[in-house]
Amino acid sequence: MAKNIFISNALPQEAVGLIPKDFTLDYNDTDSPLSKTELVSRLKGKDGLVCHIISTIDDEVLAAVPTLRVVANVAVGYNNIDVAAAKRRGVTVTNTPDVLTETTADFAWTLLMATARRIVEADHYARSGRWTAWKWDLLWGADIHGKTLGIVGFGRIGRAVARRALGFRMRVLYHDAVKADAAVERELSATATDLETLLREADFVTLHTNLTPETRHLIGKRTLRLMRPSAVLVNAARGPIVDEAALAQALGEGWIAGAGLDVFEEEPKIHPDLLPLQNVVLAPHIASASRDTRIAMATLAVRNCVAVLEGKPPITPVA
């Protein structure tokens, strides 16, 4: 049986090199997202797709490519894919869990610490020539150790974030539709709570939920109003979980103290009201972007695609 793969954007050679010689490969070796028309036209007659989150695989795309058997997303999140439609059409969808858990948790902490200790402002100040004498009240930030961390979404990444909080001797609250086992709660010293209590009590709130209709704008005017004026919000999950306009207002008017954001509602656009604010640290969706992890994600996605086309079970199918 023919095995034709389309890779819709650039991937490291470590991953592309895993495609067996008897497969046919069409490869868009660039970082530019393809339009839906280009995507469908390149996908025509293909059996497998390896794609990034910048490709939207909706029912229209799936309907236009009836030969497709597998969509391998190079990401743990898969809100760019209509999984229900894929299932209906017998297309396997895979993602890249586990390999990015620790790296993403590291980065959530990077944002948390950078925001709390104002490291971006400090860097700009140190370079600016304005630093003429040591000043005892220069760039005061917030302590992290001993404070309360609120984790919204207590899956793999949320738990890895909690594990790091042990070293900071923090009180950890979490909110998730599924309560963790008592042993996990004990190991991570984490307590389940409702969202409102978490938002009211946490000094740091970090988001690690999937983007679903239920979590879209979970953090908006109402929920931001529940947070402490000294609180910091971290989002390294998906942009639309936060209502960016409401967040910009909250940061501008001091409802909360700061935010560290890796993801945005309409990437690569950032809400213009966030850009002038000093109390927000912005990153261009790089939470999993360590060299090792990005290569591990890409190789896992290719291995998933190849497995399905060789008639084997996918390694990490989307549930």
- Residues of this chain that interact with ligand GLV (CB under 6 A) are 53, 75-77, 100, 288
CB of residue 157 to ligand GLV, shortest distance in Å: 9
Catalytic residue among 238, 271, 294, 303: 238
Within 13 Å, how many C-alpha atoms sit on residue 15's CB side? Answer: 27
DSSP of 169-206: T-EEEEE-SSPPPHHHHHHHTEEE--HHHHHHH-SEEE
- Closest to 25 measured CA to CA, from 62, 58, 50, 55: 50
CA angle in degrees (0–180, nearest 5) for 211-70-80: 20
φ, ψ of residue 308 in degrees (nearest 5): -65, -45
Q: Which of 4, 288 has the CB closer to ligand GLV?
A: 288
The question of whether 60 is a catalytic residue gets the answer: no
The question of whether 285 is a catalytic residue gets the answer: yes
CB of residue 225 to ligand GLV, shortest distance in Å: 28
**How many residues can be counted in the chain?**
319
Q: Which of 53, 241 has the CB closer to ligand GLV?
A: 53
- Closest to 144 measured CA to CA, from 231, 229, 212, 65: 231
- Positive or negative, the Cα torsion across 296, 149, 237, 121? negative
CB of residue 3 to ligand GLV, shortest distance in Å: 26
Catalytic residue among 69, 285, 294, 303: 285
Q: Which of 5, 76 has the CB closer to ligand GLV?
A: 76
Q: Which of 9, 288 has the CB closer to ligand GLV?
A: 288
Taking CA atoms, 264 is separated from 19, 51, 121, 217, 287, in Å, by: 33, 20, 21, 12, 13
CB of residue 26 to ligand GLV, shortest distance in Å: 24
The question of whether 217 is a catalytic residue gets the answer: no
Positions annotated as catalytic residues are: 238, 267, 285
